[in-house]
């Protein structure tokens, strides 16, 4: 399993009254993929640029797909640009892959409604592994969860929403990716708020007698 899949399952387990935005989650999933690619030496960072590694990709199909999208010509792509490009509709991609693999079930409880369906994670070893990482407060997963507003990793000892990546992270490259993820989620929220204000203002124009 990948960090991105673990993050998706953790997000799915959140209570319906504390939803995780699909846009936020997609950006965080792309960040999780990049962190796993760094760990597998399928990519490296040169400042804020992603330098592709070996041509042989990871065994996980979605991680291999992510590795294949890396720009392989100078100047290499920046982390933020890659997050926005790779993250487009990425939560739906993970939903489809996990559902096909039997890791998701359709039920009454679940966080991410796609259309009229609600999904929840199946009780499988994969879900238990993801929950174990989360409850132990594994730093990378906790920081990614915090970026999308999921707090309480490690029974409350983990990061809270809005926190920057904290101590215990593997290295500077991972910390850099997590910081860019956090900034991208913040930027997305600002864009959504601006659009909401613009739409409300437009609607008010038509209400003027």
Express each pLDDT in 40-60 by its tens digit: 999 999 999 999 997 767 889
Question: Which segments of the chain does DSSP mark as H helices, in order?
Answer: 3-12, 22-39, 61-68, 79-86, 90-100, 125-135, 139-147, 172-207
**Number of domains within the chain:** 1
Phi and psi angles of residue 191, each rounded to the nearest 5 degrees, phi first? -65, -45
Name the residue range of residue 100's domain: 3-207
The two structure tokens encoding residue 110: 């679940």
Mean pLDDT of 24-49: 95
For 93-151, the pLDDT digits (tens) are: 999 999 999 998 876 544 444 444 567 888 899 999 999 999 999 999 999 999 999 97
Q: What is the pLDDT of residue 110?
A: 42
Which of the pair, 206 or 77, is modelled with greater confidence? 77
pTM, rounded to two decimals = 0.82
Mean pLDDT of 4-32: 88
Mean pLDDT of 30-48: 94
Confidence label for 74 from pLDDT (cuts 50, 70 and 90): very high
Distance CA 29, CA 5 (A): 8
- Using CA atoms in the order 37, 43, 44, 48, what is the torsion angle rounded to 10 degrees? -90
Mean pLDDT of 78-90: 96
For 150-202, the pLDDT digits (tens) are: 976 554 333 343 444 444 566 899 999 999 999 999 999 888 777 666 665 55
Give the torsion sign (CA, 86, 87, 88, 90): positive
Q: What is the pLDDT of residue 21?
A: 87
Q: What is the DSSP-derived secondary structure letter of residue 34?
A: H
Q: What is the pLDDT of residue 122?
A: 86
Q: What is the pLDDT of residue 115?
A: 45
Distance CA 105, CA 112 (A): 12
């Amino acid at each position: 399993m990948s960090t991105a899949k673990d993050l998706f399952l953790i997000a799915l387990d959140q209570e319906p009254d504390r939803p995780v935005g699909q846009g936020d989650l997609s950006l965080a999933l792309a960040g999780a993929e990049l962190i796993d690619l760094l760990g597998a030496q399928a990519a490296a960072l040169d400042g804020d640029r992603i330098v592709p590694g070996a041509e042989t990709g990871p065994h996980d199909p979605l991680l291999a797909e992510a590795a294949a999208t890396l720009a392989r010509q100078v100047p290499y792509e920046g982390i933020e640009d890659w997050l926005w490009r790779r993250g487009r509709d990425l939560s739906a991609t993970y939903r489809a892959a996990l559902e096909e693999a039997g890791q998701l079930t359709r039920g009454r409880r679940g966080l991410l409604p796609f259309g009229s369906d609600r999904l929840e994670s199946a009780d499988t070893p994969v879900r238990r592994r993801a929950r174990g990482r989360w409850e132990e407060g594994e730093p990378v997963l906790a920081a990614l969860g915090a970026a999308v507003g999921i707090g309480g990793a490690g029974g409350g000892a983990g990061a809270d929403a809005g926190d920057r990546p904290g101590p215990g992270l593997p290295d500077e490259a991972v910390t850099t990716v997590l910081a860019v993820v956090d900034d991208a989620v913040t930027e997305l929220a600002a864009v959504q708020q601006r659009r909401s204000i613009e739409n409300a203002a437009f609607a008010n124009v038509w209400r003027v007698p």
